[in-house]
Each structure stands twice: as structure tokens, then as C-alpha cells.
Structure 1
Amino acid sequence: MADNVRRVAVISLGGTIAMTAHTDGGATPTLSADDLVAAVPGLAETGIHVEVHDFRRLPGASLAFSDLLELAVEIDALTVDGVVVTQGTDTIEETSYLLDLVTTGNMPIVVTGAMRTASMAGADGPANVLASIRAAASTEARGTGCLVVFGEEIHAARWVRKTHSTSPTAFTSYPGPIGYVAEDRVRILARPDTAPTIVPQSAKAPAIRTTVFTVGIGDDGTLLQALGDHVDGLVVAAFGAGHVPMACVDALTDLAKRMPVILSTRTGAGPVLQQTYGFPGSESDLLARGLVSGSTLDPVKARILLHLLMMSGADKDQIVQIFSTLS
């Protein structure tokens, strides 16, 4: 192989992109990584050498932290110019941000998938795989952290969200894509800040349970109190800029004394404020009671960061310090 040939590893985890329909109408993951790559028109013309790895054949909703941490180890051991991970779209937000936090090095790691199965008209998997391989092979994408490529748009793992249940353009981000693929060229327009690198302890470490609690109108704190006996860490998806009903304040105060409680916004974009509002249940009130600001991380990403930090053995002061570095 010539020295100037770019090498990309494609790792399949399953998901819609690897699914075909059965006679009963239900789709399940059946395609291998080889099958996915073989279905990509124009791949041979790129001149990129692709090696394939079948890692899992699971729906995205069934992936676990253990699967993704094993994946990260495999990725770090590869000697290639870039990596493409194909998986179910249900958890691309989680996978991409977790890989952003635990992998090392500057090579592009791209996560992609499909909203339509290979059996459907207009299947989007092949186009997404081709664009992702181009991004993973490019020198332009080096040092940008983990990426999500969908519909020729390149999103930073930190900001990307799935915002539609069926649309091929389901993946969006605020403040927007950091680049795109056009006319076979990868164009990077912005570079996100470097994510902290976290090293979780071995699988023998005690199991950690974290979850997201989304506040709603009329919540009185009863469910929060019940959660306290079953989790080790909590993310609160609060109203607006970090607000909860007054009736929840006592429960959250108690929980923040027992475990790390991250305050995030359920809006999907924008920061948790620090000192704009002062009523009971406002952001300044909750932060004064020991909750930790999730800054601009959405609740899903805040939980990934919290969970990994707790797996690494971080105490509350260390968790506060890491979250405080987020812009």
C-alpha cells in the first residue's frame, strides 16, 4: 500500500443503518460492517483504504457504557488515519460525546447512522457512510474531537442532538454544524474547545447509577425524594435557565448533600445562568444549595460527563471543577 493512501477503520455497532425488514415487518440489525461498506457507491473512487470491524449488532437503545468503553479501547489501539463508527441513531448523542471524553489523540472519530433502513426507499445509510469516511480520512478534521456526520453536515459531539424521530435531517446542533462535506471535500468552519479527557476505572469498579430527572409543572419533590435511594448521581433538566418549582427545593437540597446533582436546562440550547434570578427554585438559589451548574451541556450530555467522572472515582470537588471549565 502506498504511503500516501489514507486508512480508515469502519466499526459497526448495529442500529437502523444495519437493519433489514423481516417478513413480519419488523426491522432488526442483520448487516455486517462489510455489508455496509459494500453498499456505498463511489467509495472505491475515493482512494481511501477501508478496514472493517464488526463490534456489536445491537439496536442503539441497547448499547451500554461497558460497550462504549470497550469500543474506546479498541479505537485507541488502531493505527489508522481516522475511524467511522456506525450505530443506531437513538444514542448517537451519547456515544459521540462519550468517545469525545475518553479517547486520546487527534485522529478524527466520526459517528454516523441512518434514519431509514437498507430495505427502505431512499435509504440514507450509504451516503452518510461515504461522507463520514471522507471526514475521517481528512487532515482538516484532525483535532476537532469526536464528530457526528449526517446529511453531509459535520457536527461536534458536544453540541449535536437528535431533534426528530424520523426525519433524515434529524441531527442538529446549536450554534450549528462545524463543517460540511461538498464536492468530495471536507470543510471545517469552526473548532470546538478541547474536551476534558476522562479515564474511567476498570470494569471491576462498583457499578454507578445516574439518571436525568426532567422537571414539569406541578412537581412537588416526591419523585425526587424517591430517586435519592436508587441513584449515585443526578442531572436535573430544569425549566428555562435553571429553574424548578418551589416545592422541589427541599428535596434537591437534601439530594445535593448526598450526591452530585447537576443543574441543566431542558430547553436544548443555552446556558444555565448563575445570578440573574433570585426566587426560591431559581438558578442562583439552587447553586447556593449545592447543585452544580451544567453550563451549556444539555441533560443527556451532562449525564454522560457525570457518569464517567463518577466511574473515574472523582469526588464532588473534582466534579465541580470539571463542570466549571465548560463554556
Structure 2
Amino acid sequence: MGAPGGSPPGEVRARERALGVVLLALGGTISVPGGARGARLSGAEITAAVPGLAELGVPLDVRDVHAVPSGSLTFAQVLDVVAVAARAVADGTDGVVVTQGTDTLEETAFLADLVWPHEKPLVLTGAMRQPATAGADGPANVLAAVRVALAREARGAGALVVFNDEVHAARWVRKTHSTSTATFASPNTGPLGHVVEGRVRMLLAPPRHEPLSAVCDRERLAAARVALHVVTLDDDGAQLQGLERTHRGLVVAGFGVGHVPDVLAPRLGALTEHMPVVLTSRTGSGSVLRHTYGAPGSETDLRRRGLIDGAFLDPYKARVLLRLLVAAGAGRKEIAEAFALRG
């Protein structure tokens, strides 16, 4: 039976128990009104333009933080946002929504997920179209994100990306198109759930692991520089020369299942003597292999030379995990174990 007045049952339950949602507004397309250069909508202005938000009957605490495009966000800033969200949960809020730009959303969401310790969800969203354009998607995404933040069904799922009425795990989500409003997808798994007629329907439960410790020391975080090298045709790795003097880790985005040109393999092996080197696939979905191929430059050869198996992690998320581990002072064994668990 439907709820009185036609409201979805989940929405009624949310109103009955809600202590409120904290919305943390960063920058990004969702906050760009168009016209004046550098102008930005505040979080209050963003939420005021969301039809149906007030009708949820839930207190909304809107705060503006780090008003920058997502391409300019730093690890330290993202961890600051997570700390603010964690304090809000400790103070009793039902859930937290973060609005930001989409350029780095798949990376910031994964970074947040790695350190998020709470059952209550941390929901990230944004927009692909500016608020003044036809078919602006920001209001619908914010409304769906708030609903997910309130939903009991989303408890224990960690950091989530809500976009286009789909709920994605931070661990799997990718930005797959430069302009489409359906840009966010999870190629390996599909979405965890959907928002249908205002009701949050969770279909899958992502595995959760013990959260990593957030690195609060800015100097240690800044010093933990991790490079990403995308392998290309006829790549001899000349640009990796001297990397051990400037970086403390490397992620390699190899061909297909984790292959590189044979001439590049010795250079990568030499780098493992100075830093952890993680092998991933540049394809964006699927896992690197471990022992199917044995030629020079194959996954078997690279693992024998000391490269760490990145498994299903794409290169961008592998870099996030590796940098956090390096900043925390993890050794090679700990790093390999972390990738075996989370990859």
C-alpha cells in the first residue's frame, strides 16, 4: 500500500526518523551559473533550485567548502571534506552529501571510501550541465543524492556516487563520457542500485574492508608523490628516467591484461628496487592477469621483476590507494597485501 498523499514508503520512513542531512558544496559545473567569469553558486543557491527537496521534510544543513573546480582539488582537501563529513555523522546527522565537479569525482569518491569508517553513507554527486542550460541535471542529482543519504538501504555501503538516478560504489565507478549526463558507470559490476519514483532500491551490496588511516600530516602527504605511466605503442620508458629521485611510487597502466613492450620491462623492474610499482590495465575494466602469458613484458614477467598486481583497480584508483599507503609509511609487503585485498 502506498504512503498517505502518494509519497513513497521509504520517503515516509525517512521523514519519521530523519535527524537531517549535511550537504557540503564544493565547486564544479553544478555551481557554475554561466555568464560572469568566476561566478559560483553557493550551496544554498544550488539546493534552492531543487524541486521537491523541501517536500522531503528533512532538515538540510548546507555548508560551502573548497569552492574550486574538481581538477584543482588536492588529496589534503578531499581528506578535509571527509573529516567534516565524519564530524557531522558523529554529531548525529543521518547522512552526508557532497557536491563537486565531475572531472575527478571517481578519484575523490574512492579516496573518501578508503578512509570512511561509518555505516551512514557519504554520497557524492554533481552535474554535467550548467544550471542555466536546457536539461540541467544538477537538481535531479542532488534530490536523488539526498534520498540515498537518508535511505536505510544504503547503510554500510561506504562512499557512493549518485548520478542519473543510479547509485554507484566508489570502488567501481568511472567517468566514461566527456559530456553525457549518463557519464558515470561501473563497467565491472553495474550500479548498486537505482532511485525509482523517489524510492531507493539497492540491488547489490559492495564488500567493505577496514578503513585506512587518513594521513593528517600535510608534509607526509605532499612528499608521497606517485606517478602514473600509461604504456603506449613503441614505448621505451625514456620519460621514466630519474623517477626514483622525484617520486616514491609508480602505477603502470599496461596494455590489455597487463603487458608492456619487452624493452620497457627491465626499466620497470629496476624501479621496483627504489619504490613500489603497481601494474594495472589501461582498458578501464577487467583485471590484469597473473600467470597466463610468459613472454618478456608479460604480466608473469613483470610480477617476477617485482611489480605488484593491481587486479581490478583501474590506474587512477590504484594511484589513489598507493599514494595513501605510501604516505602512511606502508612497506612493500603491506602495499602488496592491500592491493590483494582491495584490487
TM-score (norm 1): 0.96
Matches within 5 A, 1:91-102: 91-102=104-115
Partners of 1:297 and 1:249 lie apart in 2 by 21
Q: Which piece of structure 1 moves more, 223-232 or 304-313? A: 223-232
The answer to whether the 8 Å contact 2:269/2:306 transfers is: yes
1:4-34 alpha-carbon deviations (Å, 9 max, x no partner): 23411110111110112125xx5x4511111
Supply the distance in 2 between the matched residues of 1:29 and 1:151 (Cα, whole angstroms): 25
Does the CA contact (< 8 Å) of 1:211 and 1:235 recur in 2? yes
Q: How does 1:300-311 map to 2 (within 5 A)?
A: 300-311=316-327
Q: Which has the higher strand share?
A: 1
Q: Superposed, which structure 2 residues align to 1:269-280 within 5 Å? A: 269-280=285-296
Paired position in structure 2 for 1:121: 134
The separation in 1 between residues aligned to 2:322 and 2:293, in whole angstroms, is 25
Task: Name the CA distance, whole Å, in 2 between partners of 1:201 and 1:88.
Answer: 23
The equivalent of 2:27 in structure 1 is 14
Structure 1 residues 147 and 29: CA distance shift in structure 2, 3 A: farther
Residue 213 of structure 2 aligns to which amino acid in structure 1? Answer: V
Q: Deviations over 1:280-310 (max 9, x none)?
A: 1100110111100111000000000001111
Please give the residue correspondences for 1:232-251 in structure 2 after superposition, counting only pairs within 5 Å.
232-251=248-267
Aligned residue number for residue 213 of structure 1: 229
RMSD after superposition: 1.4
Q: What is the CA distance between 1:3 and its match in structure 2?
A: 6.7
In structure 2, the residue matched to 1:151 is 164
Question: Separation in 1 of the partners of 2:68 and 2:213?
Answer: 25
Do 1:212 and 1:237's aligned partners in 2 also have CA atoms closer than 8 Å? Answer: yes
1:185 is matched with which residue?
Answer: 199
Identity among equivalent positions (%) equals: 48
Question: For the Cα contact (< 8 Å) 1:221–1:251, is it kept in 2?
Answer: yes
Measured against aligned partners, the alpha-carbon deviations of 1:138-159 in whole angstroms (never above 9, x if no partner) come to: 1000001110011001100000
Are the aligned partners of 2:18 and 2:94 in contact in 1 as well (CA < 8 Å)? no
Distance 1:208 1:29, change over 3 A: farther
Q: Distance in 1 between matches of 2:302 and 2:185?
A: 30
Query: What SS class does the counterpart of residue 304 from structure 1 fall into?
Result: helix
CA contact (8 A) 2:144 2:162 kept: yes
Aligned counterpart, 2:66: 56
Letter in 1 for 2:201: R
Matched-pair contact (CA < 8 Å) for 2:107–2:316: yes
Query: Runs of 4+ in structure 1 displaced over 6 angstroms?
Result: none
Amino acid at match of 1:211: A
Contact in 2 for aligned 1:140/1:186 (Cα 8 Å): yes
Structure 2 portions without partners, runs of 5+: 1-14
How far apart are 1:204 and its partner, in Å?
4.6
Residue 307 of structure 2 corresponds to residue 291 of structure 1 = yes
Residue pair 1:205, 1:311 contacting (<8 A) in 2 also: no
AA matched with 1:129: V
Distance change >3 Å, CA 29–CA 169, structure 1 → 2: farther
Q: CA deviation at 1:205?
A: 4.0
Cα distance in 1 between the residues matched to 2:332 and 2:82: 25
How far is the alpha carbon of 1:120 from its aligned partner? Answer: 1.1
Alignment partner of 1:93: what SS?
A: helix
Measured in 1, the distance between the counterparts of 2:34 and 2:154 equals: 35
Aligned to 1:77: 87
The separation in 1 between residues aligned to 2:67 and 2:77, in whole angstroms, is 11
Aligned 8 A contact 2:96 2:149 in 1: yes
Which among 31, 42, 52 is matched to residue 32 of structure 1? 42
Deviations 1:40-98 (A, max 9, x none): 00111112221111111100100001101111111111121111100000010111101
3-state DSSP of counterpart to 1:66: helix
Q: Give the aligned partner of residue 315 of structure 1.
A: 331
1:234-286 superposed Cα distances (whole Å, 9 cap, x missing partner): 10000011100001011101111100000000111111111100001100110
Q: What secondary structure does 1:11 align onto?
A: strand
Q: Distance in 1 between matches of 2:108 and 2:337?
A: 23
Deviations 1:157-200 (A, max 9, x none): 00000011111111111220010000110000001111441113
Does structure 2 retain, via aligned residues, the 8 Å contact 1:154–1:179? Answer: yes
